[in-house]
């Protein structure tokens, strides 16, 4: 039997704890988490804030009680701030100030990530909000009940920022979305796709302040009243800052090997550079199959799988991660966009020359009547040298999201665009066309 300490109990930590407790009951599992709740799905935050769901209860899928029922010892509001890797001791304190000192045989770091704070004057003004935890979302929900909160600036055009901008606009607020980049969603899609979403948001009344750098939060009577950028000033009653996250890797940062952004570097077993110490989730690196190298891609789906891998390895069963492709998706004003792997622009950044295979068509044959038959646009990114698929982007008002899983697998298995063109894909009018958009995009690449 081994004593396994897990520091952090959100997505990666919860997956890890569940896997150990379900499969290796002989081990002692002790958990320390500085928060007061477990497993909050921040990806559903905008749905709650925007009143698309009535309450946040469903955004939690585990609890202290459910994990304890499986045999784990869960300590909430417990901050670990020191690790002696040589003696295998963790130290910290509880919320009430009482001290923690505990020993381990194996240690799993699941410390997650923290919001990036823009270092400008006015950060301490009232109604400057950050969004990551349940408590953050709850604060925003409560403040939206105040009639004086009419104008909101959302800082950051990533997934969370875009979703929150839509949510606030649907609630009737005046919204400005500010980002340093020229387009929203810049890291997930290429500009032609990004502009489709950006123009849609603008047409629905969201002011798009792209290419603007925030310089100051201006206050009045202790509350935020405006955001000053290098291109102008935007009057606001509340600021939502969601410009990104960084790995929470302060614990052991001087002892453990870290990535360029500070994340713990791990191998495919989730092992760090110190024996018997593992790292999972947003605090750790991943193996990115699209570039065949270590990378940092913070997604809940990646976190869950890393937790499962670590759980088996720490318990004595050796398994390796198969790597990730960074698959993700978003829906705003009924426009669905999904992606996996590299964009053309990302590939350029890695020095990879690529070509593109594109196609646009309706999902089902034109003769199908009285059925939903949305147009789907697909963009496949493949290497110029060996024609291996390294990325895919799709958009539609129709739910075509399931198709992106195939492209995630294609990247992992190093499928070429030529193989895709001749891949056995079934046809039935209720579902698709005999020459569907995936096949046609592949055929376009081998003309």
Is residue 447's pLDDT more than 80? no
Q: How far apart are the first and last CA of the chain?
A: 61
What pLDDT, in 10s, does the model give residues 228-253? 999 999 999 999 999 999 999 999 99
Are the CB atoms for 77 and 94 separated by under 8 Å?
yes
Whole-number pLDDT of residue 43: 86
Domain boundaries along the sequence of the chain: 3-114+246-314, 117-243, 337-445
Percent of the chain having pLDDT more than 90?
A: 91
Angle, helices 159-170 vs 191-203, to 10°: value is 20
Q: Assign 210 a pLDDT band (cuts: 50, 70, 90).
A: very high
What pLDDT, in 10s, does the model give residues 291-302? 999 999 999 999
Residue among 324, 320, 280, 285 nearest 304 (CA): 280
Q: Assign 186 a pLDDT band (cuts: 50, 70, 90).
A: confident
Find residue 357's DSSP bridge partners.
Answer: 380
d(CA 424, CA 65): 47
CATH of domain 117-243: 3.50.50.60
Min mean pLDDT across 97-106, 127-136, 145-154, 198-207 is at 127-136
Q: Assign 44 a pLDDT band (cuts: 50, 70, 90).
A: confident
d(CA 333, CA 313): 43
Is residue 105's pLDDT more than 90? yes
**What residue has token string 């990247």?**
411
Whole-number pLDDT of residue 222: 95
Same CATH fold, 117-243 and 3-114+246-314? Answer: yes
Is residue 189's pLDDT more than 90? yes
Query: How is domain 337-445 classified at the CATH fold level?
Result: Enolase-like; domain 1 (3.30.390)
d(CA 326, CA 267): 17
If one compares 43 and 332, the residue with the highest pLDDT of the two is: 332
335's CB contacts (< 8 A; 6+ apart) are 196, 197, 200, 395, 396, 397
Average pLDDT, the chain: 95
Are the CB atoms for 83 and 252 separated by under 8 Å?
yes
Q: What is the mean pLDDT of residues 130-154?
A: 93
Q: What is the mean pLDDT of residues 195-222?
A: 97
What pLDDT, in 10s, does the model give residues 310-328? 999 999 999 999 999 999 9
Whole-number pLDDT of residue 187: 85
**What residue has token string 């990666």?**
12
Gyration radius (Cα) of the chain, Å: 23
Q: Assign 42 a pLDDT band (cuts: 50, 70, 90).
A: confident
Q: Assign 162 a pLDDT band (cuts: 50, 70, 90).
A: very high
Residue 140, phi then psi, degrees to nearest 5: -65, -45
Are the CB atoms for 284 and 306 separated by under 8 Å?
yes
Residue among 340, 259, 342 nearest 296 (CA): 259
Q: Does domain 3-114+246-314 have CATH number 3.50.50.60?
A: yes
Q: Is the dihedral of CA 18, 19, 25, 31 positive or negative?
A: negative
d(CA 311, CA 328): 25
Whole-number pLDDT of residue 246: 95
> Which residues are identified as catalytic?
11, 43
Q: Is the dihedral of CA 347, 352, 358, 364 positive or negative?
A: negative
Whole-number pLDDT of residue 141: 92
What pLDDT, in 10s, does the model give residues 405-430? 999 999 999 999 999 999 999 999 99
Q: What is the mean pLDDT of residues 220-225?
A: 96
**What residue has token string 């990551």?**
132
Whole-number pLDDT of residue 41: 87
């Amino acid at each position: 039997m081994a004593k396994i300490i897990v520091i952090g109990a959100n997505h990666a930590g919860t997956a890890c704890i569940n896997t150990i407790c379900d499969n290796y009951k002989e081990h002692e599992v002790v958990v320390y988490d500085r928060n007061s709740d477990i497993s909050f799905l921040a990806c559903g935050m905008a749905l709650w804030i925007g009143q698309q769901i009535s309450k946040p209860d469903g955004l939690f899928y585990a609890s202290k009680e459910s994990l304890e029922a499986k045999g784990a010892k869960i300590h909430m509001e417990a901050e670990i701030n020191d690790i002696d890797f040589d003696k295998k001791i963790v130290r910290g304190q509880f919320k009430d100030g009482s001290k923690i000192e505990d020993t381990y045989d194996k240690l799993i770091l699941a410390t997650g990530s923290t919001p990036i704070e823009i270092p400008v004057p006015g950060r301490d003004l009232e109604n400057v909000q950050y969004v990551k935890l349940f408590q953050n979302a709850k604060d925003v929900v409560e403040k939206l009940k105040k009639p004086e909160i009419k104008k909101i600036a959302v800082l950051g055009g990533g997934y969370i920022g875009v979703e929150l901008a839509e949510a606030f606009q649907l609630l009737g607020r005046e919204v400005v979305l500010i980002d340093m980049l020229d387009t929203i969603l810049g890291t997930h899609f290429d500009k032609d796709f990004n502009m489709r979403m950006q123009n849609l948001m603008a047409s629905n009344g969201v002011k798009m302040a792209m290419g603007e750098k925030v310089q100051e939060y201006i206050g009045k009577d202790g509350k935020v009243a405006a955001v000053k950028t290098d291109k102008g000033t935007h009057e606001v009653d509340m600021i939502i800052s969601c410009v990104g996250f960084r790995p929470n890797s302060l614990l052991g940062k001087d002892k453990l090997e870290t990535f360029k952004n500070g994340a713990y570097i791990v191998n495919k077993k989730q092992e760090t550079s110190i024996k018997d110490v593992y790292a999972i989730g947003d605090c750790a690196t991943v193996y990115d199959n699209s570039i065949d190298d270590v990378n940092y891609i913070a997604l809940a789906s990646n976190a869950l799988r890393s937790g499962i891998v670590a759980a088996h390895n720490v318990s004595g069963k050796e398994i390796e991660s198969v790597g990730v492709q960074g698959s993700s998706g978003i829906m705003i004003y009924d426009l669905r966009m999904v992606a996996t792997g590299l964009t053309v622009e990302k590939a350029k950044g890695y020095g990879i020359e690529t070509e593109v295979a594109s196609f646009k068509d309706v999902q089902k044959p034109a003769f199908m009547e009285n059925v939903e038959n949305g147009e789907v646009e697909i963009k496949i990114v493949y290497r110029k040298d060996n024609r291996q698929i390294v990325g895919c982007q799709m958009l539609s008002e129709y739910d075509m999201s399931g198709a992106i899983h195939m492209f995630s697998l294609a990247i992992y298995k190093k499928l070429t665009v030529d193989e895709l063109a001749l891949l056995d894909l079934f046809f039935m009018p209720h579902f698709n066309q005999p020459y569907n958009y995936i096949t046609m995009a592949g055929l376009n690449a081998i003309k």
